[in-house]
Amino acid sequence: MLLENNTNNQERRYDIDTLRVFAVILLIYFHTAMIFNIWSVFHLKNNELSLEAALFVSFLNIWHMPLFFFLAGISTYFALSFRTGEEYAKERIKRLLIPLIFGILIVVPPQVYFERLAWWSETRHSPINFNGTYFEFYPQFFVGIYPNGNFSWHHLWFMWYLFFISLIALPLFLRLKNEKGKQQISNIASSLEKGRKIFLFAIPLIIVNIGLRWIFPESHNFLFDWAAILHFLLIFIFGFVIIADSRFEDSIARNKGVALFFGIAIAIFTLTFDALTYINSTSNSTSTAYTVDNPAILIVIYIIGTGLWSFCVWCWLIAFIGYGRKYLNKKNSFIKHFSEIALPYYILHQTVIIVIGFYVIQWETNILVKYLVITTAALFITLIICELIKTNNITRVMFGMKVINKKI
């Protein structure tokens, strides 16, 4: 599943469960906005696009996926409190690799099929067309690599990244769980617990992103996505470390207000800059006053922008953990129920969005109506399918859920 249950002979952290559910539910609203996003490519696009949708997506991009990896790192700490390294690796295979393979073979192909049917979508990611039934298309899914071909993992990239990162970090985590490792974490906590030193965790993120983003822009294709992989790996490790010593969370609690302030301020600054740049580039004015051709200035802008973005990511993670611990650490029956279906929800949601969106974006109505119809219908249908999945052990295994009575 997306996160390991954070419980076993320890006080349950309900705030971690709640933050995870919040992030998972938000996926439908994020990916539906991608249909109307003027800046980013997507598998299905409305012909009329929206700056507001783009700003919404860009804001979520700051912290949404990092939050998943951060919470996964936290939950891994709890998981390794009652599992051996071998047991943890086997669990990752059952809960991530098997549903990933199933998802690629069964859940993703309809997304590609409906994209191929949408010949009228002027701004979709891949312009390849197809005429015919889904059963006629399915063999074609294995021809070529998307976007020039059909085969893809689409949104399921996250599951492979989390699986890979989990196994890569496992030797480090096992070392940090022994007495010597615990002492090392304690030493780090002692040096960072006072003042604003918790923000120093952002330095490795800044270095990785400034150093690699210009070489490896985020693509989710794994082989050439090393800036994103190292970015998420660091965040995953940070999640494990900060939960290992209470002094980190004490520092987070003291600095959560400052973190939220800077998170909001930097987000507003960067999004305003992006919006003004876009408006200027699309205006009818022939003025080139805002055009920057000097390589030195472009490098400075890149360094400052990427550095601020990296720092902003860490600020939002501190804010979520800090305020989550204060206000969300309480038992909730809805959170408990939804936590069980979090991974099926993740696997299914984008396919449901694209199937519904294929028809809705052809309506003669405004973007807001289309967005509300798609999100509402996708949420309702996805939840119904998830409830059906949980009733059968075969589907539970295929979607990464625990089996009932340990039998299939």
Q: How far apart are CA 296 and CA 274, in angstroms?
A: 20
Res 408 pLDDT > 60: no
**Quick check: helix, strand or coil at residue 7?**
coil
- Confidence band for 293, pLDDT divided at 50, 70 and 90: confident
- Confidence band for 116, pLDDT divided at 50, 70 and 90: very high
> Which amino acid belongs to residue 300?
V
What DSSP line would sit under 11-55, residue for residue? ---HHHHHHHHHHHHHHHHHHHHHTTBSSS--SS--SS-BHHHHH
- Confidence band for 339, pLDDT divided at 50, 70 and 90: very high
Listed range (19-33, 111-125, 275-289) with the worst mean pLDDT: 275-289
Residue among 379, 394, 392 nearest 345 (CA): 379
What count of other Cβ atoms lies within 10 Å of the Cβ of residue 216? 17
Q: How far apart are CA 237 and CA 242, in angstroms?
A: 9
Which pLDDT belongs to residue 406? 56
DSSP designation for 47? S
Question: To the nearest whole number, what is the mean pLDDT of the chain?
Answer: 92
pLDDT in tens, 222-232: 999 999 999 99
| Residue 109 CA to its chain's centroid (Å) | 21
Listed range (3-7, 44-48, 129-133, 274-278) with the worst mean pLDDT: 3-7
Listed range (7-16, 70-79, 129-138, 299-308) with the worst mean pLDDT: 7-16
- Confidence band for 8, pLDDT divided at 50, 70 and 90: very low
Burial class (CB in 10 A: 0-12, 13-18, 19+), 272: exposed
Res 291 pLDDT > 80: no
**Quick check: helix, strand or coil at residue 21?**
helix
Residue 50 backbone phi and psi in degrees, to 5: -135, 130
Q: How far apart are CA 231 and CA 169, in angstroms?
A: 13
Contact 240, 184 (CB under 8 A): no
Bridge partners of residue 151, in order along the sequence: 145
Domains of the chain, by residue range, sit at 14-108+153-406
Residue percentage of the chain with pLDDT more than 70? 94
pLDDT in tens, 164-208: 999 999 999 999 999 999 999 999 999 999 999 999 999 999 999
pLDDT in tens, 245-270: 999 999 999 999 999 999 999 999 99
Contact 43, 111 (CB under 8 A): yes
Bridge partners of residue 145, in order along the sequence: 151
Q: Which H helix or E strand runs over 290?
A: none
